[in-house]
Chain A
Amino acid sequence: DAKTTQPPSMDCAEGRAANLPCNHSTISGNEYVYWYRQIHSQGPQYIIHGLKNNETNEMASLIITEDRKSSTLILPHATLRDTAVYYCIVRVNSGGSNYKLTFGKGTLLTVNP
Chain B
Amino acid sequence: GAVVSQHPSRVICKSGTSVKIECRSLDFQATTMFWYRQFPKKSLMLMATSNEGSKATYEQGVEKDKFLINHASLTLSTLTVTSAHPEDSSFYICSARDASGRASNEQFFGPGTRLTVL
Q: A-side interface residues toward B, CB under 8 Å?
A: 36, 38, 41-46, 49, 87, 93, 97, 99-106
Tell which of B97, B107, B110 has the most Cβ of chain A within 10 Å: B107
- Are A46 and B32 in contact (CB-based, < 8 A)? no
**Smallest beta-carbon distance A35→chain B, Å:** 11
- Pairwise interchain contact A41-B109, C-beta atoms closer than 8 A: no
Q: Which of A43, A100, A106 contacts B109 (CB 8 A)?
A: A43
B interface residue count range (under 10 / 10 to 19 / 20 to 34 / 35 or more): 20 to 34
At the interface, is chain A mostly helix, strand, loop or mixed? loop
Q: A102-B46, A105-B43 are in contact. Are A41 and B91 (CB under 8 A)?
A: yes
- The answer for the CA separation of A103 and B91 in the assembled complex, in Å, is 15
- Annotate B104-118 by CB proximity to A: 1 below 8 A, 0 otherwise: 111111111010000
Contact of A99 among B6, B43, B97 (CB under 8 A): B97
A100–B46 CB distance below 8 A: yes
Q: Is B44 an interface residue (CB 8 A)?
A: yes
> Shortest beta-carbon distance, B115 to chain A, in Å?
13
B residues neighboring A (CB under 8 Å): 4, 6, 32, 34, 36, 43-46, 49, 57, 91, 93, 95, 97, 103-112, 114
Residue in A93, A100, A105, A106 whose beta carbon sits within 8 Å of that of B34 in the complex = A100
Question: In the complex, A103→B36 CA distance in Å?
Answer: 10
Nearest B residue (CB) for A49: B104
CB–CB A44/B106 < 8 A: no
A97 in contact with B44 (CB, 8 Å) = no
Residues of A within 8 A of B114 (CB): 41
A45:B109 contact, CB within 8 angstroms: yes
Task: Report yes or no: A43 in contact with B57, Cβ–Cβ below 8 A.
Answer: no
Nearest B residue to A38, CB-CB:
B44
Q: Is there contact, CB below 8 Å, between B49 and A42?
A: no
Question: 16 other contacts beyond A44-B95, A46-B109, A99-B107, with CB at 8 A cut-off?
Answer: A41-B91, A41-B114, A43-B6, A43-B95, A43-B109, A43-B110, A44-B44, A44-B93, A46-B107, A93-B103, A97-B49, A97-B57, A99-B49, A101-B95, A103-B36, A103-B44
